[in-house]
Chains A and B, each alone.
Chain A
């Protein structure tokens, strides 16, 4: 029974751990794919810059800039968080303004 305490046991343990990890990743992958299919819409988040929001929500950047009360050219690729800090307002308020601008553009209630 000497082998029980030797390297082969560690090897087996490592093998089992990697298999368990593989299973966990496979499950998470499956859940991710299912979730992706079920949820195509995502909320606007503080890290997003205007160009990204414009493309993701299919709204011209000018409309978003107007809602944020900023000059489009003065804010190349800056996150909402940064814009909020510059303006001294909260990110939540900016997101709320964008949400209504996007809804108005698509002609749906916010």
Chain B
């Protein structure tokens, strides 16, 4: 499967990369990070130019973020209600939203690259909670620059071991993301422990 996506970069080059980074920002399960690694390796091999790769990856990602944000904004309440039907997802989203209120920009920035599996959902939440456009766009763009630079750079440097380095980076991001979620959930548990059980679960939820 991974090889199929490597072949896509190989045969179609930068346009394939732009399409995939765009789609990955909309929560479609495409291995955009792996494809950026491959593109970085192909730059090192002289098969692609760095300008085309960075331009395509960054362009796709920035457009994808904006699309996700706008979908969240337009879909708003309807989407939120749908997502909340799955309790695990609802919890995840509620946690992310609470964090968003406090430190939205930081969440947006780190969910581009370090906790990248959360990125598409953060886009939707940012739109749905009507986070200020500029306060979303600036950290999103900055985070995407880091994401593209890290993966294309690592692909460039370690490209001869593409499959293995892809696995290692994937597991690293998985570890960082699950630890971050565990930290958020653990903190929620601790706070609950201090306060005791809440009489009403919906108390204090002031939706604007």
Contacts and interface: CB of A to CB of B under 8 A. Distances in A.
Contacts of B6: 45, 47-48, 79
Q: Tell me whether chain B's interface is mostly helix, strand or loop, or mixed.
A: helix
B91 interface: yes
A89 B152 CA distance: 33
Interface residues of B, number: 40
Nearest to A35: B164
Q: Tell me whether chain A's interface is mostly helix, strand or loop, or mixed.
A: helix
Nearest to B41: A52
B151 to A, nearest CB: 16
Interface residues of A, number: 40
Contacts of A42: 161, 163-164
Given A36-B168, A46-B3, A78-B10, A54 B182 contact: no
B189 A12 contact: yes
B106 interface: no
B142 interface: no
Contacts of B45: 49, 51-52, 54-56
12 contacts: A14-B91, A14-B185, A25-B175, A32-B164, A32-B167, A33-B168, A36-B161, A46-B7, A47-B3, A48-B10, A55-B160, A76-B47
Interface of A: 3, 6-8, 10-12, 14-15, 18-19, 21-22, 25-26, 28-29, 32-33, 35-36, 39-40, 42, 45-49, 51-52, 54-56, 76-79, 81-82
